[in-house]
Structure 1
Amino acid sequence: MYSESELSPAMIAQKVLTLSAFRNISQEDYKVFLRHLISIGHLEKTDRNTLIVGLKAEPILNHFEFYSVFTTPKEYSVRSDSEEIGTVHQKYPVGTAFCLAGYSWRVIDIDEESSCIYVEKLEGISYNAWLADCNTIVETKIMKRIRSLLKSEDCYDYLSQSSKNLLNKIRFDCRNAGIIDKTIVKISDKSYYVFPWVGTKAINVLNLFFKSEGFNVSVISYASLPICLSVEDEPDENKIRETYKKAKSSSIDIGRFSLDEEDIDLGGKFDEFVEPSLIIKEFLFDFLDVKDLQINM
């Protein structure tokens, strides 16, 4: 389009929607996307009802990063009052707690223009977790294999002695904590961890199901591995257990989940220019797997 000066919406559809990458995009979603690009100034309508590149899109198209395959990570400065604590490469939503520089912080405000995240200090330990980290999808069979590895006594000759010692220590700690054989582990009077040992798409479903049942939950991940669900502000373990069983046996309709686009990071290079409802739709259909969850819980 940039090289052809102006095109009608029908001509853009003919050129774009016939490409293999866009074969599953419906006409309705295409219209929503075009209207959004017009509303943010990336496309402009002419008096002949054709579309041209908008003034706000031209600097983006003319920048060398537009043609790169990978996203250049955006860096946010984390500040408490006037002091800079450090930098992060993801935007934590307001109210989210995370760990940086050895301390826990809660986000109180975000300044997009200056790329600053303003925080306040918290007591205790926090974990850096999105609702969904979709940059890396971990299959359920990987999590099952990790669990099997932790349960076994097998020793691997190719490991160095220090690696063998570390593996034995991790096995010992996991068994003592009860996370290998127990699905629900009590952390404090009102905090529990739920270990379903499933992959990214499955644990996303479980997370949203618990949220739909009124729980304050989040996914705890480490190196993209979906370790467990953290359930906060809930003193009744039986209620958690019943909800877990309900997630396994219920007919789950992903369309009923309530989602906020601020909670979703799909890792797409141009996601910020896409209409939020389409981002949510992509997450629901591409990053959730109800069948995987219910078979492997």
Structure 2
Amino acid sequence: MENNSIKLLDVDLKRWMFKKGWQSLLPIQEKSIAPILERKNDVIISASTASGKTEAAFLPALTAIHKTRELSGVRILYISPLKALINDQYRRLDEMTEFLKIKVTPWHGDVSISKKNQILDEPEGIILTTPESLESLLINHKSWIESSMKNLFYVIIDEFHAFMGSQRGYQLQSQLHRIENLIGKRVTRVALSATFSDANGVMSYLRPNSSIPCEVITAAKSSEDKLSVQIKGYDHIALDDPELEGKVLPKEFDAISDDIFRLLRGSTNLVFCNSRFCTETLAGKLEQKSKSRFVPNEFFPHHGSLSKELRESLEYRLQEGRWPTTAICTATLELGIDISDVSSIAQVEHPITVASLRQRLGRAGRREHNAVLRVFIPEALTDTKKTELYEDTVMTVAMIELLLERWYEPPLEHEYAFSTLLQQTLSVIASYGSVSTKALHELLCKTGPFSLCTPKIFMQFLKCLGEKDLIVQLNDGSLALGLEGEKIVSNWNFYAAFDTPKEFTIEHEGHQIGTIPLSQDLIIGDTFLFAGRGWKVNFFSQERHLIGVKAYPHDAQPLQMNGSAGHIHNEVRKRMFEIYRNRKVPVYLNKVAAKHVLQGIEQFERMHLEHSHIYDGPTGIALFPWQGDKVIRTIVLMLKKESIDASAYKSHIELAYTPKDSLKVAVYNILNYENISGTDLIKKVNNLDREKHDSYISMDLKRMSFAHSELDIEGALDFFAVLRKEL
């Protein structure tokens, strides 16, 4: 078993490896030993799920701290996005450190106060925590961090890809920067992540605004890894009562639940849905099927709104593996707990992104290197007034093709992240008592993760906080918490940078017709389908979470109520175009799904979309940019500014009652503007409170942030240039 890399490991760890029956280390584990032991560079270990990343990080890290065991305090800080994963890793590390006598302490909301007090009184070894619990430590135990972490060697971040580009990611970046500022030294960061198309492109997310080198260690592509895929299509079946549209799952979900019951019962599976509503309803249908057939129920829901006890009992059942179990879940089970024997992964409706599909597939096929993916896709029939190309099925095929080529979406560009900047500003002030404006900007923006925030923008930001009494200025010019700020910080909910989506009430003539978790932009005059009827927005209140509507007698489409809103990448739509153009019908489609793709291809050809981006049909004009959601969103807003009634529909844009001459004029005007401002385009967008603390931020700053993150003006102008030639 001995080779040059393994010789560097602690002898007691080699005893543990021998006890486990390990004959050798995996290549990624061997490659990680030297750079982690040296502590010169940060390290990203990028490999698929169940590839030995945890051991790759901890074997050398434990060796390093055991060799220097005379140093006191906390030596390794491990950060995970999930408490369930911490509990899982605690068991593994407790076993791994058996011969080293290194203390491992989990620290999160479910850990007892007595256990936390032990580590506060005698800081040592390894702490396993979440960003939320780390926030609490930074606010309430700043002096303890300064003294107990002065000999900290490593910060190990698990599921690093789950943090990137998110509010929690900015929170974590800021926290690690603050810790290093407190202890006065750089700490080696080791990130464990799923595979990336371009792993080098993620290095700036591990340590922003820094010249510290980062070494990326990737696993060799395994020829053993196999993927078995089937896409099952379903025709849309109209409900008997049109009033129920939008309130219950469409009728075709009865057939989907029949197939899930038939195919998955008797084994362990994860079935991912794009919304909690779908998760709950589908789980309910499957439980009823079990009862009606007098068999034990094996189908259980799992999502963030369930109680901790219900979630953990299902997680325990999955881990134990003693009974066949299928979890009907949202993204909550993409990460975390170690489920060793998942037979297959299922996806209901189209996947959200290629990266999330990859993450979900990583939960299956660990033992045999053979992952099984089933996708259940209902599609609307072409008797709708909208232009239909069966885009959901074709988009799923495009994502699977890109997945097989190991292409995944790159991380989101750096954002302003004002909501998390607000949290971190209040957190720093709370931990110190008062802080100067200059020191705050230096810590959080100039050298921290919020680098887009210039001194001028930061002053505008602080002004917002002052106006809402979150902060006050003392006589010496420093900033302290205001009354509202103290109230926010004292609430345990403050430690989390994210929030659950708020429900909006839809109201018509004083009567409530339903509630939705809104995830798309809304402007007065927009139309949508809900409860089987068309509605037009005539009132919107972000503060009251209220959408006022009047009846709309024409065709409309449902509101986006799941996590897929706005995340489809340019590359996915380009691949869809290639599938249509090349008449590609993969063998892994069932008869109905193959029929949908073929009908979509035939419609594509009838509309001559191979050579044109515009279709002027009997129901109006449709535009096909074959670009991602950012570009499509920007095109729609630009056209609306020119009084064109444009709306995004699936992967294209529909123009209602628009003569071609009007479109020509609009395109001419758009291309002749000297400078198009993103903030001007979204002046009529009402719901810009996307993140937890956005309600405290001014509309000017929210518009600037939204335009930076959600619009692509250059991409839209490129499309209009092409469109002008075709018009």
TM-score range, shorter chain: 0.7 to 0.9
Q: Is the 8 A contact 2:585 2:597 kept in 1?
A: no
Q: Which residue of 254, 257, 262 corresponds with 2:676?
A: 254
The residue that corresponds to 2:486 in the other structure is: 58
Q: Is the 8 A contact 2:472 2:480 kept in 1?
A: yes
Q: Which residue of 606, 629, 644 corresponds with 1:200?
A: 629
Taking the aligned partners of 2:531 and 2:688, their CA distance within structure 1 comes to 23
Taking the aligned partners of 2:717 and 2:510, their CA distance within structure 1 comes to 48
2:484 partner letter? K
Q: Is the 8 A contact 2:542 2:689 kept in 1?
A: no
The residue that corresponds to 2:455 in the other structure is: 27
Give the TM-score normalised by structure 2: 0.36
Q: Is the 8 A contact 2:638 2:681 kept in 1?
A: no
Displacement of 1:280 in angstroms is 2.0
For residue 658 of structure 2, give the secondary structure of its aligned residue in structure 1. coil
The residue that corresponds to 1:117 in the other structure is: 547
The residue that corresponds to 1:15 in the other structure is: 443
Q: Is the 8 A contact 1:252 1:290 kept in 2?
A: no
Displacement of 1:26 in angstroms is 0.8
The count of residues paired between Structure 1 and Structure 2 equals 287
Displacement of 1:65 in angstroms is 3.6
Please say if 1:37 is aligned against 2:465: yes
Taking the aligned partners of 2:580 and 2:617, their CA distance within structure 1 comes to 20
For structure 2, list consecutive stretches of 5 or more residues without a partner in the other structure.
Answer: 1-428, 723-727
Q: Is the 8 A contact 1:94 1:108 kept in 2?
A: yes
Tell me: CA distance 1:272–1:61, structure 2 relative to 1, closer, same or farther (3 Å): same
Taking the aligned partners of 1:205 and 1:114, their CA distance within structure 2 comes to 27
2:537 partner letter? V
Displacement of 1:59 in angstroms is 3.6
For residue 238 of structure 1, give the secondary structure of its aligned residue in structure 2. helix
RMSD (Å), alpha carbons:
3.3
Taking the aligned partners of 1:96 and 1:292, their CA distance within structure 2 comes to 24
Tell me: CA distance 1:77–1:197, structure 2 relative to 1, closer, same or farther (3 Å): same
Q: Is the 8 A contact 1:135 1:266 kept in 2?
A: no
Matches of residues 118-197 of structure 1 in structure 2 within 5 Å? 118-128=548-558, 136-176=566-606, 181-186=611-616, 191-197=620-626
Displacement of 1:124 in angstroms is 1.7
Q: Which residue of 86, 102, 119 corresponds with 2:514?
A: 86
Tell me: CA distance 1:210–1:116, structure 2 relative to 1, closer, same or farther (3 Å): closer
Tell me: CA distance 1:211–1:104, structure 2 relative to 1, closer, same or farther (3 Å): closer
Deviation readout 1:8-64 (Å, 9 max, x if unpaired): 222222222234321221110000000111112222233443322222233433334
Give the TM-score normalised by structure 1: 0.79
For residue 484 of structure 2, give the secondary structure of its aligned residue in structure 1. coil
Q: Is the 8 A contact 2:504 2:517 kept in 1?
A: yes
For residue 554 of structure 2, give the secondary structure of its aligned residue in structure 1. coil
For residue 6 of structure 1, give the secondary structure of its aligned residue in structure 2. coil
The residue that corresponds to 1:278 in the other structure is: 701
Q: Is the 8 A contact 1:217 1:229 kept in 2?
A: no
Segment drifting more, 73-82 vs 287-296: 287-296
Tell me: CA distance 1:19–1:128, structure 2 relative to 1, closer, same or farther (3 Å): farther
For residue 154 of structure 1, give the secondary structure of its aligned residue in structure 2. coil
Identity of aligned residues (%): 18
Please say if 1:96 is aligned against 2:520: no
Q: Is the 8 A contact 2:633 2:648 kept in 1?
A: no
Task: Give the strand-richer structure, 1 or 2.
Answer: 1
For structure 1, list consecutive stretches of 5 or more residues without a partner in the other structure.
Answer: none
Taking the aligned partners of 1:288 and 1:17, their CA distance within structure 2 comes to 23
1:253 partner letter? N
Q: Is the 8 A contact 1:95 1:106 kept in 2?
A: yes
1:46 partner letter? L
1:275 partner letter? S
Displacement of 1:174 in angstroms is 4.0
Tell me: CA distance 1:176–1:57, structure 2 relative to 1, closer, same or farther (3 Å): farther
Displacement of 1:135 in angstroms is 5.9
Task: Give the helix-richer structure, 1 or 2.
Answer: 2
Q: Is the 8 A contact 1:261 1:279 kept in 2?
A: no
Displacement of 1:198 in angstroms is 1.7
Tell me: CA distance 1:29–1:112, structure 2 relative to 1, closer, same or farther (3 Å): closer
Taking the aligned partners of 2:448 and 2:674, their CA distance within structure 1 comes to 31
For residue 147 of structure 1, give the secondary structure of its aligned residue in structure 2. helix
Please say if 1:74 is aligned against 2:487: no
For residue 99 of structure 1, give the secondary structure of its aligned residue in structure 2. strand
Displacement of 1:71 in angstroms is 2.6
Taking the aligned partners of 2:565 and 2:470, their CA distance within structure 1 comes to 26
Please say if 1:4 is aligned against 2:457: no
Q: Is the 8 A contact 1:99 1:127 kept in 2?
A: yes
Q: Which residue of 653, 659, 668 corresponds with 1:229?
A: 653
Tell me: CA distance 1:176–1:68, structure 2 relative to 1, closer, same or farther (3 Å): farther
Tell me: CA distance 1:230–1:64, structure 2 relative to 1, closer, same or farther (3 Å): farther
